[in-house]
Structure 1
Amino acid sequence: MKSIKLLALALITAGTLVVLPGSGKVDDKQAVTQAVEKLRKAMIDPDKATLEALAANDLSYGHSNGNIEDKAAFVEALVSGASDFKSIDLTDQSVTVVDNTAMVRHKLSGETNNKGVAGQVKLGVLLVWVKQKGDWKLLARQAVKI
Structure 2
Amino acid sequence: MAAGLSAGAAQEAVQAGVSAEQEVRLAEQLRFTALVNGDFDAFDELCDDRFIYTHSTGHRDGKSSFSAACRNGLIRYHRIDATAEQIALTGDCAVVTGTMEADLSVSGIPRTVLNLSTSVWVRETGAWKLLASQLTAIQA
Q: TM-score range by the shorter chain?
A: 0.7 to 0.9
Q: SS of the residue aligned with 1:91? A: strand
Task: Give 2:95's aligned residue.
Answer: 103
Task: Give 2:107's aligned residue.
Answer: 115
Residue 84 of structure 2 contacts residue 96 of structure 2 at CA under 8 Å; is this kept in 1? no
Task: Give 1:83's aligned residue.
Answer: 75
Residue 83 of structure 1 contacts residue 113 of structure 1 at CA under 8 Å; is this kept in 2? yes
Q: Distance in 1 between matches of 2:125 and 2:49?
A: 13
Residue 129 of structure 1 contacts residue 139 of structure 1 at CA under 8 Å; is this kept in 2? yes
String of CA shifts for 1:11-59, please: whole Å, max 9, x gaps: xxxxxxxxxxxxx8x6110100000000010111122321111000111
Q: Percent identity?
A: 28
Q: Distance in 1 between matches of 2:84 and 2:52?
A: 23
Q: Which runs of 4+ in 1 moved over 6 A?
A: none
Residue 51 of structure 2 contacts residue 130 of structure 2 at CA under 8 Å; is this kept in 1? yes
Shift of 1:92: 5.4
Higher helix share: 1
Task: Give 1:18's aligned residue.
Answer: none
String of CA shifts for 1:41-81, please: whole Å, max 9, x gaps: 01111223211110001111111111111110111122222
TM-score of the pair, normalised by structure 1: 0.79
Q: Distance in 2 between matches of 1:103 and 1:34?
A: 14
Unaligned runs of 5+ in 1: 1-23
Q: Select which of 36, 41, 61 maps to 1:44.
A: 36
Residue 124 of structure 1 contacts residue 145 of structure 1 at CA under 8 Å; is this kept in 2? yes
Shift of 1:113: 1.5
TM-score of the pair, normalised by structure 2: 0.82
Residue-pair matches, total: 122
Q: Distance in 1 between matches of 2:36 and 2:77?
A: 5
Higher strand share: 2
Q: SS of the residue aligned with 1:66? A: coil
Say which one has the larger Rg.
1
1:11-90 equivalent positions in 2, closer than 5 A: 27-90=19-82
Q: SS of the residue aligned with 2:65? A: helix
